[in-house]
Amino acid sequence: MAESLPATAVVRVSRGNFDLARLAEVHAMNTRTAEYLVPAIGRLPGLIHYYTGVSPEGSMVAVSVWDSDEHATQLNHLKEMIVDARGEAEAAGVQFTPIINYPIDWTI
């Protein structure tokens, strides 16, 4: 059964790539930043889901579902995200690609 989402819902995708030699460092950084990102992001209105993962192929991703583009873009101004976590990720060698919000057309 498909999840019922607002018609204005979006998926926000943030990706980064890193040297495989730094996999353990990036994974540890991703786990560590959850300590302050989870409460900070959880306080934002409009959040439906949030997922992160680090691939052993040299990339990491954060995928979130929001009730609107306006609420998804709150992350663009969240200090814990744009200063703290981004700084830790870049120090671990992560190079980010542009973040994109996608309107949701359908779900399963």
Radius of gyration of the chain measured on its C-alpha atoms: 14
pTM of the model: 0.92
Gap between the Cα atoms of 22 and 40, Å rounded: 27
Distance between CA atoms of residues 94 and 89, nearest Å? 5
Label residue 3 by pLDDT band (50, 70, 90): confident
Residue range(s) defining the domain that contains residue 40: 10-103
CATH of the domain at 55: 3.30.70.100
How many structural domains comprise the chain?
A: 1
Residue 57, in any domain of the structure: yes
- Could you give the percent of the chain with pLDDT greater than 70? 98
Cβ-Cβ contacts under 8 Å for 77 (sequence gap 6 or more): none
Instruction: Identify whether 1 is part of a domain.
Output: no
